[in-house]
Structure 1
């Protein structure tokens, strides 16, 4: 994982790597020479991507597994270690997406438990299994959300899970530092993915309006930070959460409509 060749020869596992942010991260690591293991929940979902990314110089394999299942996780990491020859970088991206907003009193225990099973439990299980196989210099990157610190309305289970991931990131960084391993996290804001593209244009505009940079981010921009955190350039960084939100969270107050924006600029209402 040198700064020159970046990830040539490195072994990288990305959970939830079949689409959106996860896929962008897989493609970025592969593009910089890494051997990649692409985890998805569904059998066969990442096979085509693995074929596309495999070359004479690098390997790409699909490793379907439910990250909330300790037996499945152990089998997945054993396979990664066997087929790629080890593991240097783990990206914990698997999550239950925030597809629809659920008011507090309509949230079911089943949904709460599923969010934590995949997000928090899965992050712990994969980190532990990977850390047991990593040598000094190994790195874990967890994908959180701005919802960990700036709550979304009607998304209490999702936001609580992301908060747990950020607490885990700091605690795991402290515990694993003596073993030469680093643990960091990324907290994306609005990202133009399948969910974002699937909502009405008016809703997209409402989400983008408060963002100082005036647009949603891209999966490739998240991937750029993930590869930085896994590189030697970040060798002295651990236990940190890097926010990627176009400046949304730095505001004292987030305007939510054109009227409010005009008022904040000093215009008339």
Structure 2
């Protein structure tokens, strides 16, 4: 039997990069997956033992997010697994941070995460599992990414609180915290930043998106049944040694 056989999973920010890899891995492991993205086209495909429903949704739009979860409720009746990956990372040192930069980053990375989790848990039965995509940027203080790092620190804080609040319902909440990962988001960084980050990784390379997805799968599977409120770094040792 596949790891997520029979589960209904939602992946917010599930098209391309880390989110896309998570959505595809969940489906391959037997879940019926609803994956949102502003860039996705509404589509349905079979993957491995499961099925992937891609939905074009602007998760930062409260009405669009609400309508999406209403669709999931109507079609499936519940959400067993939630992964929240939607995020924005832009370079801005303290002197260059604008109100727009701050608002856009916190709106997507924190506000969307909060209300997506609220909507999903309203449909989540006992035994549900949530994985939030954080980042080691929450703790290492990378120059020029102070606002991004602050949003990921908020994600880590939410996970601790929600793990406490949802434990009586037997719902687990954990964080997967990637280091630099070879995705389109990282490709947008300058060659100098990419090289500097890579030299700080003991394993000598960036992560692959599928490696982060494997960690996310572990955190929502029965293999981690006694783990909640935790953060699992996937960073090649960058922030660990």
TM-score by length of 2: 0.93
Q: In the aligned structure 1, how far is the partner of 2:188 from the partner of 2:147?
A: 22
- Aligned pairs (5 A) from 1:84-163: 84-98=76-90, 101-163=91-153
Q: Secondary structure at the match of 2:140?
A: coil
Pairs within 5 Å for 1:251-262: 251=241
Counterpart for residue 37 of structure 1:
34
Counterpart in the other structure of 1:23? 20
SS in 2 for 1:187: strand
Matches within 5 A, 1:206-221: 206-221=196-211
Structure 1 or 2: larger strand share? Answer: 2
Q: Which position in structure 2 is the counterpart of 1:5?
A: 2
Q: Is 1:228 equivalent to 2:218 in the alignment?
A: yes
Q: Is the 8 A contact 2:28 2:47 kept in 1?
A: no
Aligned counterparts of 1:245 and 1:56: Cα–Cα separation in 2: 28
In 2, are the aligned partners of 1:17 and 1:94 still within 8 Å (CA)? yes
C-alpha distance in structure 2 between counterparts of 1:56 and 1:230, whole Å: 18
Cα separation, partners in 2 of 1:200 and 1:114, compared to 1, 3 Å: closer
Aligned-pair distance for 1:80?
A: 1.4
Q: 1:46, 1:62 within 8 Å by CA — same for their partners in 2?
A: yes
CA distance in 2, matches of 1:222, 1:55: 19
SS of corresponding position for 2:185: helix
Q: CA RMSD in A?
A: 1.8
1:185 maps to 2:175 = yes
CA distance in 2, matches of 1:96, 1:176: 27
Hey, what does 2:60 align to over in structure 1?
Answer: 68
Other structure's SS at 1:248 match? coil
Return 5+ residue gaps in structure 1 as ranges.
Answer: 252-269
Q: Where does residue 71 of structure 2 map in the other structure? A: 79
Task: Give the C-alpha shift of residue 74 in structure 1.
Answer: 1.8
Cα pair 1:143 1:186 within 8 Å, conserved:
yes
Query: Does the 8 Å CA contact 1:137/1:181 hold for their aligned counterparts?
Result: yes
Displacement of 1:207 in angstroms is 1.9
Q: CA deviation at 1:162?
A: 0.6
CA contact (8 A) 1:141 1:183 kept: yes
* Contact 2:27–2:48 (Cα < 8 Å) also in 1: no
Take 1:60 and 1:132, find their aligned partners in 2: how far apart are those partners?
A: 22
CA separation of 1:27/1:12 partners in 2, compared to 1, >3 Å: closer, same or farther?
A: same
